[in-house]
Chain A
Amino acid sequence: MDIGTGHAWLIPALSVLSSLVISLALLLKSVHVLPKNGSYLSIAAIGSGFLLFFPILRDLLSNGPREYGLPWLLVGGTEIRWSMLLDPLSVTMLGLVTLVALCVQVYSLCYMHGHPRFGWYYAVQSLFAASMLGLVLADNLLLLYITWELVGACSYLLIGFYYEQRSAAEAAKKAFVTTRLGDVGLLIGILLLFKVTGTFQLSGIFDAVATGKLDSATVNWAALLIFLGAMGKSAQFPFHVWLPDAMEGPTPVSALIHAATMVTAGVYLVARTYPIFLAAETVLSFVTIIGLITTLMAALLALVATDIKRVLAYSTVSKLGFMMLALGSGSLAAGIFYLITHGFFKALLFLGSGNVIHATERQDMRELGGLRNSMPVTTATFVIGSLALAGIAPLSGFFSKDEVLIAVREHQSPFVLVLTLFSLFITGVFIARLVLRTFFGAQTHDSSHYHEAGWNMTGPMIVLAALSIVGGLVVFPFFGEMLGLGGGFMEFINPSSGAHGNAGATVHAAQFDTAMALLSTLVSGSGLLIGWIFYGARLWSPQAISKRMTPVVVLLENKYFLDSFYQAIINGVVLVAGLLVATFDRVVVNDVAVNGLGRIAVFAGDRLKYHVTGKLNNYGMGMVVGAVIIAAAAFTFLS
């Protein structure tokens, strides 16, 4: 039996199964029966998913995209299906999600070791991975929405994993509520599309868009609403506030959220429904603007953050904006390419920061330094990840970043390109600051008892580091052909080879643009250099600079006052409105309506009970009078 695209459903199904088994064991209070409290079960599920990815990819390459499913509901004339689409886009994501989830789960074996809710952690991890895999495979918007919400719910559980700490509970709530704001938009968008096309199937909707059955206003609205959902999930400005706070979760969870599951869902959603966006020019510009704003403002925030996870979180926000910028520039392939390589090195960076936190139990870089001696593997892999993030040749980030820059150069104004390059410059500065202050320089604490993490923590990091180094090469046709992709990654992913031919898609083949490569390397390199001057060589003092730019620093340290602004809105509008509603509920609904009715009944009963005399004659009189009245009424009104 050949294993191929037809078996893709097994991948999420296995993880769901493992999640259910672990949860059941938890319910029966017998999780210790499972191997390693269920963690091996979860790892086995996601590991087999990752292994299944290869035959599926081979089958996809030889037999082309495939769409299949089971009927689920028949409502009126609409059939809703459990259906999945295996095309280059979804299969690529499949590989990324299973790989990162596998790395994170292996890593967590050590990181979460001994935690009282160890089994629960793996149950949710499994479900989280399964939801994301379901989201990736989903071929209709309803299924997509369900898995989308499942991803949100699981992230809520994992961010709030240390719910004994108030800050973790708050962060989980903030993440859930903020993304919900966007989800409402997504739901409305899905329903709008269903209303005008009568189907949830992506293929049907794309056909309707392609044949021009929908007027341009509808397409624009639908695209905008879908993008709202993506903005919430992918932490785009102004919904980005939840992601830095999501650091309250365990660090492996952060790695998973940032690299493969949660935030990439938004980018993937836009990519999945890209034909709609291509038909909506206005929204595409909106995507560009939001992406640009996000990438710039988050990069600047990363400059002043001191918590290492927070710096990484802002860098993720910045890079998500970068991906959106690529998508807004009409290059699906560049956006997804960046998503994949970013997945590798961002997971790596988070796992590295996890090592640091695990060993030192500190995560403020002002309290850290000189860890390179005690943690050589972590330092080496972390530096690789950082250089990839900065986009230094020949690491993967270099190639993927260049593809995005080329797309931006070709489709946007030079002004946008300049701003994008500026964000890359800032990236170089903040990542240099992070690496130099954490791993180099003077030791701020006695590090003799710090030690390198075990193999199941460093192992996944080494795998990810290797991929961060070579992952970018798939962009070249020669490398892609070596893997059997039939050309470079860009040709592989580009929508025209997808199941739904998107004639309008702007496809550009991978091109190694020397000028752009030089320019971007120059920019990133100078960023790194500036960072080194400030934090490595300490030739200039960053304090002197920040003193001269006090207003800017204050603005950044307060995160543009967005959090305060939102809090003010919540206090001034939401809570006041809630108070009004609560008062209305108490006074009108409760006192007047509910209790009032009750009081009327009591009062009436009090008065009327004296007419219940218990005397037969009185009752008979009542019957006769009633009969006479009814008869009289019947003769008066009915005849």
Chain B
Amino acid sequence: MIPLQHALIFGALLFSLGLYGMLARRHAVMVLMAIELMLNAVNVNLVAFSAYVAPGAFVGQIFAIFVITIAAAEIGLALAIVLRVYRNKATANVDEIDLLKW
């Protein structure tokens, strides 16, 4: 059987990749993709815990389903916002959308 730690390390790796994407990418859509990676990493963790820590209870899986639901709503809204911003500022680069600076 696969040790729990390996599954968690996989999740952590995936999450760190998403994190890096969020920190380093400029285009809003790229940042959103990185966020999807992070959400998936979380799901991996939830499923792994569900399978190893409480087999048969599958609460983790239910959680993962809700996470996916929220992620779907989030990406829909976020892309709508990106489109809106692009239409107004003719750019989708997050470091050019800096109206809220000092």
Contact = CB atoms under 8 A, between A and B. Distances in A.
A and B: interacting chains: yes
Interface of A: 609-610, 612-617, 620-621, 624
A621 to B, nearest CB: 6
B95 A615 contact: yes
B26 A613 contact: no
19 contacts: A609-B102, A610-B102, A612-B100, A612-B101, A612-B102, A613-B98, A614-B99, A615-B94, A615-B98, A616-B94, A616-B95, A616-B97, A617-B22, A617-B23, A617-B25, A617-B26, A617-B95, A620-B23, A624-B23
B31 A616 contact: yes
A525 to B, nearest CB: 96
Interface of B: 19, 22-26, 31, 94-95, 97-102
Given A613-B98, A620-B23, 9 more contacts: A609-B102, A612-B100, A612-B101, A612-B102, A614-B99, A614-B101, A614-B102, A617-B25, A617-B94
A603 to B, nearest CB: 15
Nearest to B24: A617
Contacts of B97: 614, 616
A609 B100 CA distance: 11
Contacts of B19: 624
A616 B98 CA distance: 8
A613 B100 CA distance: 8
Contacts of A621: 23
A621 B99 CA distance: 19
Contacts of A616: 31, 94-95, 97
Contacts of B98: 613-615
B91 to A, nearest CB: 13
Contacts of A615: 94-95, 98, 101
A184 to B, nearest CB: 55
Contacts of B25: 617
Contacts of A610: 102
A620 B95 CA distance: 12
Contacts of B94: 615-617
Nearest to A625: B23
A624 B22 CA distance: 10
A610 B101 CA distance: 8
Contacts of A620: 22-23
A617 B96 CA distance: 11
A624 B94 CA distance: 17
A482 to B, nearest CB: 96
A460 to B, nearest CB: 79
Contact of B100 (A614, A617, A624): A614
Max chain A Cβ within 10 angstroms of own Cβ: one of B19, B23, B31, B98: B23
Contacts of B101: 612-615
A373 B53 CA distance: 116
Listed from nearest, the 7 A-B pairs whose CB atoms lie closest are: A614-B101, A614-B98, A616-B94, A609-B102, A615-B95, A614-B100, A612-B102
Contacts of B26: 617
A441 to B, nearest CB: 91
A59 B5 CA distance: 94
Q: Of A612, A616, A617, A620, which is in contact with the most chain B CB atoms at under 10 Å from its CB?
A: A616
A616 B95 CA distance: 6
Contacts of B23: 617, 620-621, 624
A60 B96 CA distance: 94
A61 to B, nearest CB: 87
Nearest to B22: A620
A617 to B, nearest CB: 6
B19 to A, nearest CB: 6
Nearest to B25: A617
A53 B73 CA distance: 85
A624 B23 CA distance: 9
Name the residue in A609, A610, A617 with the highest tally of chain B Cβ atoms < 10 Å from its Cβ.
A617
A616 B24 CA distance: 10
A609 B26 CA distance: 22
A624 B31 CA distance: 15
A621 B24 CA distance: 9
Nearest to B26: A617
A323 B94 CA distance: 91
A612 B98 CA distance: 10
A614 B99 CA distance: 6
Contacts of A624: 19, 23
Nearest to A612: B102
